[in-house]
Amino acid sequence: MAKITLSKLRHSYYPNPAAPEDYALKQIDLDWQDGGAYALLGPSGCGKSTLLNIISGLLSPSEGRVLFDDRDVTRLPPDQRNIAQVFQFPVIYDTMTVYNNLAFPLRNRGVAEAKVDERVREIAAMLEVSDMLNHRAAGLSPDKKQKISMGRGLVRDDVNVVMFDEPLTVIDPHLKWKLRSKLKELHHRVRATMIYVTHDQTEALTFADQVVVMQDGEIVQIGTPVELFERPEHIFVGHFIGSPGMNVLPCDVKDGQAFIDGRNIPLEGPVRDGVAARAEIGVRPEFVSLAATGLAGTVRKVSDIGRHSVVETMVGQNRIAAIIEGETPGQGDTVHLQFRQDQTRLYSGGWLATSSRGAVT
Amino acid sequence: MKTQNQKAWLFVLPVLLLVAFNAIIPIMTVVNYSVQETFGNNVFFWEGLGWFEQILRSERFHAALGRQFLFTALVLVIEVPLGIAIALAMPRSGFWVPVCLVTMALPMLIPWNVVGAMWNIFTLPDIGLLGYFLNHTLGITYDMTQNPVAAWVTIITMDVWHWTSLVVLLSYAGLVSIPDAYYQAAKIDGASNWSVFRYIQLPKMKNVLTIAILLRFMDSFNIYTEPFVLTGGGPGNSTTLLSIDLVKIALGQFDLGPAAAMSLIYFAITLLVSWLFYTLMTKDDAR
C-alpha cells in the first residue's frame, strides 16, 4: 500500500520530441492517495493508457518521476513495483486450472504453499468462483475469465495499486453492471488503491471517489463525480460528462457582463480579470428552463427519454438543449429560455472564468 | 422437409475428379498388384495376402523400416526444438522481420533433387567446400561414400538445413499472434522467462506445432529424392530408407507384387502414426 506521486511526468513515443503535439502526455503532476478509488476518464487516444503503463512500469517515461511513498520507482520493472493490472481483454493462462491461475503470482514470488492456498480460496470466495477452482481456465466465458484476471491482481495482499485498463470492454452489457458493483465491493473489502481507466462516464462515475479527466495528454480536472457534473473546470469536461453534455454558447463580454445577441445573461458570479471580449457561456441542460421571457429560440427536436424530455432549440446559430419535465412544446414552436443563474458560467479559452458568489477565491 | 440447395455438389466435382486421377485410381492399381503375381503380358495370378506376409517377415523390410524410423526420429528431435528456438529469437517487429522471413524461406524454395546435388558436391572430400575443409584443413576423415556414419550425418544435416525453416515459420506465426497484454500480465505476475514460454508461448503455439510436426513426420517418413541423389542408399545399405528400398524392389527388380504390398504397408504406417499423433494432440480441445 502506498501513496503514488507523479512528478513532472512527460512522455513521447517519438525518439526526439520537439513540438508539444509530439507528446502523448504533456505534463502530469498528480498524487494518488493510498486506498482511494480513482477513475481515469477521457476519450480514446487522450493518453490514459500511456499514463497507466507508466505507473505499472511497462513503459518508461521520457521525463519526470514516479514515486511510491517517496521512493523513486521510475526505472523499476513491473514485477519489482508490486502492482497489479487488469487488461482490456482477459489474460488467463489457458493450460492452467482456475486455481493455478490465481496462485500463479504468489508462487512466482515464492510464497509458501499454505499461504497460497489460503489467499486463493479467499479471493475465489470474494469473486464467487470457488466452485470452478478445478476447471481449466480456457473453457470459461469472457466475464468469468475477466474475473480470474481481476483475481490474479487482488490475490497478493501487499499490492501498492490495482489498475484496470477498460476491463469491461468485452463483457456483455447485463454482466457489466454486476462486475462493476463487484469491483466497488472489492475495493471496500481489500482497501487497495485502485485506478480504473475508461472512456465510459457511467463506469467512471459509479466506480470512483475521485475522477481524473484527461484530454490530449493533459489533466483537465480532478474531482468527485458531483464536482465534475456541477462545476466543470473546462468546457471539455462539461461536454464529456453528462447526457446530453453542457450547452456552450459564444458570447460577448463587456464590463464583466456576458451578452448573447445583446441580451445580458446573468452569471453565477464575478468574471476573473483579463477575459477576452469573445468568450463562451456554459450551462447544463438540467438548468435550462422554458419561460415567458428570455432568449428566444425555435424548437428543433423533442426526445422523450423516459422520466423527462430533451428539448433541442436553435437560438440563432446555436443549439441549446434543455431537460424539461412535464409538458413539452411541439417541433417548430418558438420558446423562451431561462438559465439558472448559479449554474451559468463563463469560459474563456476553454477554461472556467467565473467564481461562484460566496466562494472563497 | 426443407429443400436444400444441391448446387454444392457441382463445385466439389472437379476436386473429386482430380483426387480420383491422382490418388484413388493409382492406389487401387497398387491394391490390384499387391494381391496378384504377374510375369508380364498382362497375365495375372491370384496371390491373396501372400506378398504382405512375405514383406512383413522380410528382414530386409525390417532393416529399412528401422532406418526409416531412426531417420524420422532424429529429424524431428533436432528440427522441432531448433525451429522453436529460432522462432523465439527472431525479431517481432521492425526492419529485420522481412529479412529474416525471406532468408528462412529460401531453403524450402530449392527443388529437392537440387538440394541433394548441392550437398553431394558440398561434401565431396577432394573438391567440396565442406568435405575439403574437414579432410584437409581439420584433418578429420570424412567421406560419406565410404563411411556410414558420415553418410547419416550428411543426410540428417541436409534435412535439418532444408526443413527446419518450416517449423520456424509456423512457430513464428503462432508467436506473433500472442497479444502484448499476455507478456505484460506475465511481467506483472512476476513470471520467469521459462514460465512465459511454458504457460503462454507454448500453449499458443500448440496448434501450429501440431501441424508442423505432422508435416515434418509425413515428409521425412516418405523422403526419397534428396537421399537418393545424395547417397543413393549407400554406402552398402546404410542409408537405404523405406522409399529407396521400395523403388529398388519395384523398378530395380521389377517385383511388382511385393512392391505393391510394401507400398500399402508403408502407407498404412504413415497414416496410422499421423492419425494417432493428431488425435492425441487435439484430444483436449474437444472437451
A108 neighbourhood in chain B, CB within 8 Å: 189-192, 195
Distance from CA of A224 to the nearest CA of B (A): 30
What average pLDDT does range A153-173 have in this prediction? 83
Quick check: B188 and A139 CB within 8 A?
Answer: no
Task: Work out how many domains chain A is built from and give that number.
Answer: 2
CATH number at residue A178: 3.40.50.300
Q: How far is CA A294 from the centre of its chain?
A: 35
Quick check: A78 and B182 CB within 8 A?
Answer: no
Does residue A264 belong to any structural domain of this protein? yes
Please say which residue of A230, A261, A279 terminates a domain: A230
Q: Does one domain contain both A225 and A252?
A: no
pLDDT of residue A361: 40
Question: What pLDDT, in 10s, does the model give residues B216-226?
Answer: 999 999 888 88
B187 neighbourhood in chain A, CB within 8 Å: 58, 77-79
Q: Does one domain contain both A183 and A98?
A: yes
Does residue A357 belong to any structural domain of this protein? no
Phi-psi domain of A130 (left: phi exceeds 0; alpha: psi -120 through 50; beta: other): alpha
**How far apart are the C-alpha atoms of A86 and A97, rounded to whole Å?**
19
What average pLDDT does range A1-17 have in this prediction? 81
Please say which residue of A204, A230, A256 terminates a domain: A230
Ordered by start, the domain boundaries in chain B are 60-286
Distance from CA of B166 to the nearest CA of A (A): 25
pLDDT at A360 over 50: no
pLDDT of residue B2: 64
Q: Does one domain contain both A12 and A96?
A: yes
What average pLDDT does range B139-167 have in this prediction? 88
A139 neighbourhood in chain B, CB within 8 Å: 287
Q: Does one domain contain both A217 and A250?
A: no
Cα three-residue angle B145-B148-B152, rounded to 5 degrees: 100
pLDDT at A18 over 80: no
Residue A193 Cα distances to A1, A83, A181, B206, angstroms? 7, 10, 16, 38
| ipTM exceeds 0.85 | no
Q: Domain of A313?
A: 243-352
CATH number of B60-286: 1.10.3720.10
Q: Does one domain contain both A211 and A305?
A: no
Output the DSSP codes for A78-128.
Answer: GGGTTEEEE-SS----TTSBHHHHHHHHHHHTT--HHHHHHHHHHHHHHHT
CATH number at residue A292: 2.40.50.140
**Test mutation, B177, B188, B201, B281, chain A, max A CBs within 10 A:** B188
Quick check: B199 and A139 CB within 8 A?
Answer: no
B287 neighbourhood in chain A, CB within 8 Å: 136, 139
Indicate the average pLDDT of chain B.
87
Among A262, A313, A264, A272, which Cα is nearest to A290's?
A313
Distance from CA of A150 to the nearest CA of B (A): 11
pLDDT at B41 over 80: no
Q: Nearest residue of B to residue A103 by CA position?
A: B189
Reported pTM? 0.75
Q: Does one domain contain both A123 and A153?
A: yes
**How far apart are the C-alpha atoms of A236 and A209, rounded to whole Å?**
20
Does residue A39 belong to any structural domain of this protein? yes
What average pLDDT does range B244-272 have in this prediction? 87
Question: What pLDDT, in 10s, does the model give residues A96-145?
Answer: 888 998 999 888 888 888 889 988 998 888 888 888 888 888 888 888 88
Distance from CA of B99 to the nearest CA of A (A): 24
Does residue A360 belong to any structural domain of this protein? no
Does residue A53 belong to any structural domain of this protein? yes
